[in-house]
Structure 1
Amino acid sequence: MYKSNAFCRKILCGVAFAATVFSTPTFAANDYPNKPIRILVGASAGGGTDILARALAEKFSQALKQTVVVENRPGASQTIAADNTARANPDGYTLLAATNTNQAIAPHILKLSYDPLKDINAVGLIAKVPHVLVVGKNSPYKSVQDVVNAMKADPGKLTYGSSGIGSTQHIAGEAFNLATGAKATHVPYKGSSQAHADIISGEVSMMFDTTSSAMSQIRGGTLRPLAVLSPERSPELPDVPTLAESGIKGADMYTWYGLFVTGGTDPKIVELLNKTLNDALATPDIQQRLKSLGGEITPMSAADLAKLNKEEFERFGKLAKEANLQAQ
């Protein structure tokens, strides 16, 4: 009888322990958020990802009644911030403003300690933006053909900047090399804003940057746009031709920005974050901000972004292999 009672007590304790363990996420989800939230950005301040993250942080703070701070962790093609997100507690308090650079391209070029498809979960799409070929205001190149002629005249002499190895700017530059049959040398930076300084000074020849990063410099007259890397002209740059109109085909490129969270975060928290994001994207000021940056808003569920991420991961994996892209 003693053994039977002891056995029953063990069973009851086990049931109670299991109930506590499995009820914790629900409690956390119902109580969320009860402390500050941080959004990690894998690029330096002033770049496109940073601009969008700070605009959303304000909206999230208002909607969730909590402090939301943006932390810049630039470097390694935005994978430092992604790695920090992957290793954070899966409680919804560490978010990642990511792009296809760190989620779909860099994993095929850099050796990472996390799986971008498993250790980081999708929340929702922020926007898609096209790329634009820019040179400094004092550059001698006034057209795409000027650039191509210079590349062919002295292969490897012209340089193009990017926000890092494996970034969409890097991929766009290599695609441009392949499409033109010419050669420009890649110069990676920790973020677009740092590359801009060297392009403006003339130390670097050009950049295939996102409109979200380059637009303020273009409007300020410090960067000169030569072509947009999209099938159609950008409404924000109506006088700038597309690469196809400039005689170059097969080098179109766009960057998508998405919000992610540590893998294993409670689905209820992910659902709340997705709703908060899509509500923010529906506000007139955010829409105007994204439009001014050349962005296209396409609200998505977490599942839809996860699907897009996987498709992009596979597409860029194939491209990286074909182009023999490697860490430099």
Structure 2
Amino acid sequence: MRKPAQLLTCLLATFAACGASAETWPQRPVRVLVGFAPGGTTDIIARKLAVPLAQALGKPVVVENRAGASGMIASGELARAEPDGYTIGMIISSNVSVPAIGRKLNFDPIASFQAVALVGQVPMVFAVSPAVPVANLAEFVQLAKKRPGQLFFSSPGIGLAHHFAGELFKLQAGVDIVHVPYSGAAPALADVVAGQVATSFVAVPTVAGSLESGAVKALGLTGSRRTPRLPQLPTIAESGYPDYEITEWYGLAAPAGTPSAVVGRLNAEINRILDTPEWKQWLRENAVLTPDGRTPADFQKFIENEAAKFRRIAHDAHISEAN
């Protein structure tokens, strides 16, 4: 049995080793897990960040796609990874919206992760088919109330932010429009263009081209503030529903227990990258709104608030994986 002095020496050595590992990190490549296929918004943001982040860290930053289950496959792998700073991941709004509909997971969507940095939020457009005889949000609400259960809204899938955007609007406007889930944003938007469904809630970068060509009409924006990409389009909150706000959001997280010094270094480098002229221009062009609070604690609080909001909407709208 070790003597107290020996135990103290071992503890001090352990703490010193931990501090040294945090200070000298990284000594090998860093993996960034992405829960969606190459070419999607999450993948594009991760790969765009990886290049300047690798330059800042002095080691390669390698993006690895683990697509499937609305991002939950990658999130599960991230939750089980060693908390040493060498595996981080892009997490998005689905990380807390999908669990809100009751999907069983092998990790905790909040406690399993250490928030690192919120990259930004992307509002969605309340887009309608040109075949729908309305010119603004108030006219759509009037039409929907005259035709309960006869108008449909599409989304890229059950439990995603787009689905919740429609359900929150139904609750606040008091209308009965029917959700139709698709296998992605492109087919969901295509059927709005074709007039097969009345409306969809579509991220600004995805729908911008269709708006410019007149293939769809825009009635409102789901974020809390307007976007420079569509400066004339009012938010739904401005149009009579002041408590309305839903966005897709993107950020970096690490496994719970990752050293605070590593998390702090990552946060500082990412915020420095986001403040460069190149990134500011790219964010404006892609309608990505940057957060006010930018510390890991700010992002952690944001995630907790988003999880509570999605749970509340799921409860009030009776959303489950079955609908």
1:222/1:89 CA distance change after superposition, 3 Å: farther
* CA shift for structure 1 position 198: 4.7
* CA shift for structure 1 position 260: 0.9
* CA shift for structure 1 position 84: 1.7
Check if 1:107 corresponds to 2:69: no
Aligned position for 1:320: 314
1:270/1:150 CA distance change after superposition, 3 Å: same
Are 2:84 and 2:259, in contact at CA under 8 Å, matched by a contact in 1?
yes
Check if 1:302 corresponds to 2:303: no
| Identity score, percent | 36
Q: Which amino acid aligns with 2:46?
A: A
* CA shift for structure 1 position 200: 4.4
Are 2:227 and 2:289, in contact at CA under 8 Å, matched by a contact in 1?
no
Are 1:47 and 1:193, in contact at CA under 8 Å, matched by a contact in 2?
no
* CA shift for structure 1 position 190: 5.5
Aligned position for 2:305: 311
* CA shift for structure 1 position 41: 2.7
Which residue of 200, 209, 232 maps to 1:207? 200
More deviation, 52-61/208-217? 208-217
* CA shift for structure 1 position 276: 0.8
Aligned position for 2:265: 272
* CA shift for structure 1 position 280: 0.6
For residues 32-74 of structure 1, what are the alpha-carbon distances to aligned partners after superposition, in whole Å with 9 as ceiling and x for unaligned?
2233222223334444333322221222122112222333334
TM-score (norm 2): 0.83
Are 2:124 and 2:203, in contact at CA under 8 Å, matched by a contact in 1?
yes
Distance 1:26 1:193 in 2: 47
Distance 1:237 1:255 in 2: 17
Higher gyration radius (CA): 1
Q: Which amino acid aligns with 1:82?
A: S
Aligned position for 1:236: 229
1:15/1:217 CA distance change after superposition, 3 Å: farther
Aligned position for 1:258: 251
1:25/1:191 CA distance change after superposition, 3 Å: farther
Distance 1:256 1:268 in 2: 25
Aligned length: 319
Which residue of 15, 18, 27 maps to 1:25? 18
* CA shift for structure 1 position 170: 1.2
Are 1:121 and 1:263, in contact at CA under 8 Å, matched by a contact in 2?
yes
Which residue of 268, 274, 279 maps to 1:281? 274
Distance 2:73 2:287 in 1: 27
Which residue of 66, 72, 91 maps to 2:59? 66
1:200/1:282 CA distance change after superposition, 3 Å: same
Are 1:43 and 1:163, in contact at CA under 8 Å, matched by a contact in 2?
no
* CA shift for structure 1 position 135: 4.0
* CA shift for structure 1 position 291: 1.0
Q: Which amino acid aligns with 1:302?
A: P
Q: How does 1:36-51 map to 2 (within 5 A)?
A: 36-51=29-44
Gaps of 5+ in 1: 1-6
Are 1:287 and 1:297, in contact at CA under 8 Å, matched by a contact in 2?
no
Check if 1:161 corresponds to 2:154: yes
Distance 2:226 2:61 in 1: 36
More deviation, 106-115/204-213? 204-213
Distance 2:218 2:140 in 1: 12
Gaps of 5+ in 2: none
Distance 1:246 1:26 in 2: 53
More deviation, 281-290/180-189? 180-189
* CA shift for structure 1 position 220: 6.5
Distance 1:283 1:159 in 2: 42
1:139/1:285 CA distance change after superposition, 3 Å: farther
Distance 2:209 2:254 in 1: 29
* CA shift for structure 1 position 240: 2.7
More deviation, 266-275/204-213? 204-213
Distance 2:56 2:286 in 1: 24
For residues 96-154 of structure 1, what are the alpha-carbon distances to aligned partners after superposition, in whole Å with 9 as ceiling and x for unaligned?
22233313x33222222212222111111211332211246x65556345654664455
Distance 1:26 1:54 in 2: 30
* CA shift for structure 1 position 86: 0.7
Query: What CA RMSD, in Å, does the superposition of the two structures yield over aligned residues?
Result: 3.2
